[in-house]
Structure 1
Amino acid sequence: MTVDSSPFQPLAGTRVLDLGMNIAGPQATSLLADLGADVVKVESPTGDTSRGMEPRAADGTSAMAYAMNRSKRCVALDLRSPKAAQVLEVLLRWADVAVQNLRPGKAEVLGVDAAACHAVNPRLVHVSVEAFYPVDAGRPGYDLMVQAESGMLHLTGDAAGPPARLPGSLLDHTTGLWAAYGAAAALHGERDRVALTITMADVAQHLLGDRVAAHLLTGESPVRMGSATSVVTPLGAYPTATTEIVLGAASDTLFRRLSSALGVALADDPRFVDNAGRLAHRAALDDAITAALHNADADTWVERLDAAGVPVGQVRDLPDAVELHRRHSRTGLAPVHGVPGASVVANPLTGPAPVRGPGRVGADNRDVLVDTLGLNPDLVAKLEDSGVLA
């Protein structure tokens, strides 16, 4: 959809309680905040572990902390203390949605599992994010472990090399997206003790959907192929006289265009007459394409292939890609208020509206607990003095 420069905030008025840590849970609530939800993050008095990650902005705020906890108000509450129960109950009654991705078993200990939360507020949409399948529900797991056990890591990397981790904690982010999607959808239902559980292992298999379908059809086990694919060729990265480009000719028509643009009669070679033949003679075809591409630099080939109607792109490093995004994206980058010099990639729906940094641990205690929830200031002060609130 097209979004103008004004904020797109369909969730304005929705109240969300973030009980998570690290990436997957906080990513879900950040997406809801981007869409206008009022998100209160509850973290321990020592802060979410993301606050300790590198690198950090000039004020000491870690890039992960403000990327994953943008536009939230943060309350530092020690849920392990019995004295925190009164504050937690008020927060749960206030919220429309609660999201948690705590270590297995921890939610029950802290009283933030679905059953405990619904005992306080049956209209609450409760979302849990877990790493593994129910049979392994007690296992903690990071993105990398799920990539490994889902088959994803086995398929990633060069054919002759070891498995390669997908960058950017892709599964954490995608699982957070599913959690936000589920929460937003549930808000339109009856909201009677809604409890959603999103498992990273399920998300990983869903992302591999076409590969899983092919395996179930043929019984074959796919292998690592670098940037190539087993279903069509040529489609992948190739070196030029300077840097690498990616190109794709997934149909006979595109292959003829590629052949003409390269100045090599590949389309006339009987080995390459159709996709089945090109797959059967992949090595010879790749050698011929690589030899042709060595005759010019990457910029020249991108211009030439694009003019011929062949899908093509440059393999950019991250700084180059971010600059391209900053200059040409419809949404661009969003400055982080309260964190000098910090920016994040803007939500693709909402555009470059400024976002709020997480502030110091417990920075919003009074704003949330006294001004929003109406707790007695003296009670809040006593909880701060006792260390239950930081």
Structure 2
Amino acid sequence: MAGPLDGVRIVDLTSNFMGPFGSLLLADLGADIAKVESREGDTTRGVGPCRNRGMSAIFLHLNRNKRSIVLDLKNEQGNTALKRMLAGADVLLYSLRPQAMDRLGLSYARVRELNPRLIYCGAFGFGQNGPYADRPAYDDLIQAAVGMPVLQSRKSGPPEYVATAIADRVVGMALSTAVSTALFQRERTGSGQEIQVPMFETFTQFVLGDHLYGHTFVPSIGESGYARMMNPDRRPYRTSDGYLGVNVYNDEHWRRFFEISGHAEMAQDPRFADIHGRTQHIGLLYEFLAQVLATRSTAEWLELLTEADIPAIEMNTVESLLEDPHLKETGFFFEEDHPSEGALRSMGIPQRWSGDAPEQRYPAPRLGEHSVELLAEYGFGRDEIGNLLAAGAVYTPENLTAR
């Protein structure tokens, strides 16, 4: 086996970041992903540096362990071919708005008739029982809608987005969890079902778990926002020669830190004696940390803090992270020879499994690279595949180039 989801067939209609990250997690666990693309391909094929057009850095990291088939779903024969694939699949993933799926004849009501065991999972902007149901959504929009830029602004000034596609990736993780759970449920019941994973609601839960705060209570007994998270001094601290991440958190951590920094008397200050008091006066403590940590080198502080069992780590850049000794020892980064893109630096699968371990089976695919192979595996004969190619319903790299 090549992972615990070995043998699970997933037809993946998602594109961009959110859906492909969710299907990546399922692919890494062994699921067989048929990545269905248009002739233009997934939008991320053009995002970031590349050696060959359509094989960008972002795409490569989001789409390993998947195979690409190009189908024209607006072509009657292409649409029919997809529906035939769905009859033999375990899961359909999509990130189109449900209204677009309905126009393609791919609503759950229609697809369920083809395959009642199918897990039909959509990840899109907003829950379909509210007034935003028809709206489009992207990571930046969802960050803004949930209030994350405002929370960030309490640290740094004007509202700003987090410097990664955090909403897309969080919702992608939720998608993979939902599909895995639905597959488990199907083993019990024998029936498939529809799952909707809306970005807005999913990311609201993610952010407000920290920041609903005083509004948790009715009536409210305080403001929104976890003060420690939003404090502008919650950041990596400058040492005499670099930066250090330090998380002095519980009572014992603070007692030890006060002692090794030469301020043991602060442990007796009622403002800092327990976590409730420290949370109320966290700004003072962050200022104190900034002043004290600047007095020694990063290496000196790491030795002192490690000996005191206080969580700390040297701050990396992306470049220094590539040389991190822990990641080197675990083999997280590795080089591979991609069939079309040459030498690449890739990231390993983070989990460790004692049995049925996931592994990398396929490099990220060229557009339409597996169209013929996948159709054959889903039961199409040679003549049928030839007719689909001739009709412009299915494309391979060769006939994409020809057109």
Give the TM-score normalised by structure 2.
0.85
Quick one: structure 1 residues 247 and 173, their matched pair in 2 at CA, closer, same or farther if it must change by over 3 Å?
same
Residue type of the partner of 1:222?
Answer: S
Deviates more, 1:233-242 or 1:138-147: 233-242
Which aligned pairs between 1:2-13 and structure 2 lie closer than 5 A?
Answer: 9-13=3-7
Q: Distance in 2 between matches of 1:174 and 1:334?
A: 27
Deviates more, 1:168-177 or 1:211-220: 211-220
Give the conservation status (yes or no) of the 8 Å contact 1:336–1:343. no
1:35 maps onto 2:40 in alignment = no
- Cα deviation for residue 173 of structure 1 reads 1.6
Give the conservation status (yes or no) of the 8 Å contact 1:57–1:342. no
Give the conservation status (yes or no) of the 8 Å contact 1:337–1:356. no
Give the conservation status (yes or no) of the 8 Å contact 2:255–2:267. yes
**Total equivalences in the alignment:** 380
Q: Distance in 1 between matches of 2:127 and 2:92?
A: 21
Q: Distance in 2 between matches of 1:256 and 1:167?
A: 34
Give the conservation status (yes or no) of the 8 Å contact 1:331–1:352. no
Which aligned pairs between 1:104-183 and structure 2 lie closer than 5 A?
Answer: 104-134=98-128, 135=130, 136-156=132-152, 159-183=155-179
- Cα deviation for residue 20 of structure 1 reads 1.0
Quick one: structure 1 residues 206 and 329, their matched pair in 2 at CA, closer, same or farther if it must change by over 3 Å?
farther
- Cα deviation for residue 193 of structure 1 reads 4.1
Deviates more, 1:372-381 or 1:41-50: 372-381
Deviates more, 1:258-267 or 1:344-353: 344-353
Which aligned pairs between 1:207-356 and structure 2 lie closer than 5 A?
Answer: 207-208=206-207, 209-212=209-212, 214-217=214-217, 218-223=220-225, 228-229=228-229, 236-265=235-264, 266-269=266-269, 271-324=271-324, 326-329=327-330, 331-333=332-334, 335=336, 337-338=338-339, 339-349=341-351, 353-356=359-362
Could you give the per-residue CA deviations for residues 253-298 of structure 1, whole angstroms, max 9, x where no partner exists?
Answer: 2111001121234335555344444444444433333222221122
Residue type of the partner of 1:368?
Answer: L
Q: Distance in 2 between matches of 1:253 and 1:132?
A: 44
Alignment match, 2:38: 44
Residue type of the partner of 1:358?
Answer: A
Alignment match, 2:68: 74
Q: Distance in 2 between matches of 1:313 and 1:297?
A: 13
Deviates more, 1:295-304 or 1:236-245: 236-245
Quick one: structure 1 residues 257 and 168, their matched pair in 2 at CA, closer, same or farther if it must change by over 3 Å?
same
Quick one: structure 1 residues 115 and 205, their matched pair in 2 at CA, closer, same or farther if it must change by over 3 Å?
same
- Unaligned 5+ runs, structure 1: 1-6
Quick one: structure 1 residues 264 and 17, their matched pair in 2 at CA, closer, same or farther if it must change by over 3 Å?
same
Quick one: structure 1 residues 157 and 246, their matched pair in 2 at CA, closer, same or farther if it must change by over 3 Å?
farther
- Unaligned 5+ runs, structure 2: 396-403
Give the conservation status (yes or no) of the 8 Å contact 2:213–2:225. no
Q: Distance in 2 between matches of 1:284 and 1:51?
A: 47
Q: Distance in 2 between matches of 1:321 and 1:131?
A: 33
Q: Distance in 2 between matches of 1:235 and 1:334?
A: 35
Which aligned pairs between 1:189-200 and structure 2 lie closer than 5 A?
Answer: 189=186, 190-200=189-199
Which aligned segments of 4 or more residues in structure 1 are displaced greater than 6 angstroms?
A: none
Q: Distance in 2 between matches of 1:374 and 1:366?
A: 11
Quick one: structure 1 residues 200 and 219, their matched pair in 2 at CA, closer, same or farther if it must change by over 3 Å?
farther
Give the conservation status (yes or no) of the 8 Å contact 1:75–1:361. yes
Alignment match, 2:372: 366
- Cα deviation for residue 354 of structure 1 reads 3.5
Quick one: structure 1 residues 214 and 356, their matched pair in 2 at CA, closer, same or farther if it must change by over 3 Å?
farther
Quick one: structure 1 residues 305 and 386, their matched pair in 2 at CA, closer, same or farther if it must change by over 3 Å?
same
Give the conservation status (yes or no) of the 8 Å contact 1:19–1:43. yes
- Cα deviation for residue 245 of structure 1 reads 1.8
SS at match of 2:246: strand
- Cα deviation for residue 343 of structure 1 reads 3.4
Alignment match, 1:375: 380
- Cα deviation for residue 375 of structure 1 reads 1.7
Give the conservation status (yes or no) of the 8 Å contact 1:42–1:74. yes
- Cα deviation for residue 119 of structure 1 reads 1.9
Deviates more, 1:267-276 or 1:65-74: 267-276
Q: Distance in 1 between matches of 2:310 and 2:108?
A: 52
- Cα deviation for residue 14 of structure 1 reads 1.1
Quick one: structure 1 residues 67 and 257, their matched pair in 2 at CA, closer, same or farther if it must change by over 3 Å?
same
Q: Distance in 2 between matches of 1:125 and 1:274?
A: 49
Q: Distance in 1 between matches of 2:273 and 2:59?
A: 53
Identity score, percent: 29
Quick one: structure 1 residues 246 and 387, their matched pair in 2 at CA, closer, same or farther if it must change by over 3 Å?
same
Alignment match, 1:186: 182
Residue type of the partner of 2:393?
Answer: V
Quick one: structure 1 residues 109 and 249, their matched pair in 2 at CA, closer, same or farther if it must change by over 3 Å?
same
Give the conservation status (yes or no) of the 8 Å contact 1:99–1:127. yes
- Cα deviation for residue 220 of structure 1 reads 3.2
Q: Distance in 1 between matches of 2:280 and 2:375?
A: 66
- Cα deviation for residue 90 of structure 1 reads 1.6
Give the conservation status (yes or no) of the 8 Å contact 2:146–2:204. yes
Alignment match, 1:88: 82
Residue type of the partner of 2:307?
Answer: A
